Amino acid sequence: MATEITVPALGESVTEGTIGEWLKKPGDAVAVDEPICSLETDKVAIEVPSSVAGVISELKAEVGDTVEVGAVIALVEAGATPAATGENAGRAAQQRDESKAAPAETQASDASQTLSPAVRRAVLEHGIDPSTVKGTGKDGRLTKEDVIAAAKVRGDTPATAPAEAAAPATAPATASTSGRNTERVKMTRLRQTIAKRLKSAQDNAALLTTFNDVDMTAVIEARTKYKDLFAKKHDIKLGFMGFFAKAAHLALKDVPSVNAQIDGDEIVYHDYIDISVAVSAPNGLVVPVVRDVDKKGFAQIEKDIAGFGKAARDGTLTMADMTGGTFTISNGGVFGSLMSTPIINPPQSAVLGLHRIEDRAVVVNGEIVIRPMMYIALSYDHRLVDGREAVTALKIIKEAIEDPTRMLIDL
């Protein structure tokens, strides 16, 4: 008798998700707790494991389908082997033919891997044999970046492939008479949620941004002096984010409205500081939460951030990682941004935007000198945070970065 695999509980207030990718197909063997599909929710992508060991006999949903918590998405013949599925063999073979997600050439060259649509396109475009590339994704899975990196090492240009092979079967490329192509790809649930939340922030909050610039000399000197000792003792690199998180801690403590939020006709003040740190994931920007920043040291903050970054890349962030947060820090500088006006992360009331560091001429003690400078921006909800409070908070952050001793003596 087949065992039903259902959509697990997805967290508070989340009742459904979207099938993002099948990691197994009918006829494939599966172990207990082995993931069979990737499920996208409003906040994160999670993997759904099999509750029994056996063989996948049937898939009950297709990629892109929306499924509710508790819905049956697959059947597993417990204890069966790929060669002994009995009456399910014909049905499994038919489903395999109907749901082939990769061209024959790709399957022949790498029958042991399950490739995502993006990876399959990259494999075709660059003419790479996936069996020759070491995957860096979760469980050694191949990523699009792995394929592109292999193509760069080989020095090849993308292989010419028909438009219909380069695009998903559900969204074929449309070629014009001039030979230019377009491709339609359905937005992921995560991307749709990001779009709705950002637009909601603009519609419902009175957004305003204040700017300042920061001389990064002291922080750079501190990192240069102590980075080796820090890494040796704590087994983590000393980054810039730890400094800004601790500087934000001072600002939020002195200006509590920046760490508060509006709930109906009430203001909710927090006596703790949980900072959401924006990190890049394959499907978009996510904001896991570093909790109790006011109680943690540099090393633990850096470890938390590094762990979230890896989890985001591997697609293993959990709902708990994303829940809460009283303030956000977003670092566009890692991508080369000079200046921006970040959008708050509702229901939070403020977000700090960091940007790239560049040498600029500034006046210090009446002399023109060259210093490593960074523009910083604080976007805030003017319904709750007054201009004076926003400017004060940003100034505290600036002063703490320019004189890190302030963070040690709580000044």
- Residue 271 is among the residues annotated as catalytic for this protein: no
DSSP structural state of residue 153: H
By three-state DSSP, how is residue 404 classified? coil
| φ/ψ of residue 396, rounded to 5 | -65, -40
Cβ–Cβ < 8 Å for 135, 143: yes
Which residue among 139, 228, 386, 403 is the active-site one? 386
- Torsion sign across C-alpha atoms 187, 191, 194, 195: negative
Q: Which residues on neighbouring strands pair with residue 47, listed in sequence order?
A: 38
Cβ–Cβ < 8 Å for 36, 52: no
Cα three-residue angle 128-129-134, rounded to 5 degrees: 95
By three-state DSSP, how is residue 89 classified? helix
DSSP structural state of residue 256: G
- Torsion sign across C-alpha atoms 78, 80, 86, 90: positive
Nearest alpha carbon to residue 370 among 382, 360, 378 = 360
Distance, in Å, from the CA atom of 185 to the CA atom of 172, rounded to the nearest integer, reads: 9
Q: Which residues on neighbouring strands pair with residue 174, listed in sequence order?
A: 182
Token pair listed for 229: 């000792």
Cβ–Cβ < 8 Å for 38, 315: yes
By three-state DSSP, how is residue 329 classified? strand
Which residue among 28, 213, 234, 382 is the active-site one? 382
- Measure the N-to-C terminal CA separation of the chain; round to a whole number of Å: 68
Q: Which residues on neighbouring strands pair with residue 277, listed in sequence order?
A: 329
Distance, in Å, from the CA atom of 98 to the CA atom of 27, rounded to the nearest integer, reads: 13
Distance, in Å, from the CA atom of 329 to the CA atom of 335, rounded to the nearest integer, reads: 15
Nearest alpha carbon to residue 339 among 361, 363, 358, 313 = 358
Distance, in Å, from the CA atom of 260 to the CA atom of 348, rounded to the nearest integer, reads: 7
- Residue 33 is among the residues annotated as catalytic for this protein: no
Q: Which residues are catalytic?
A: 382, 386
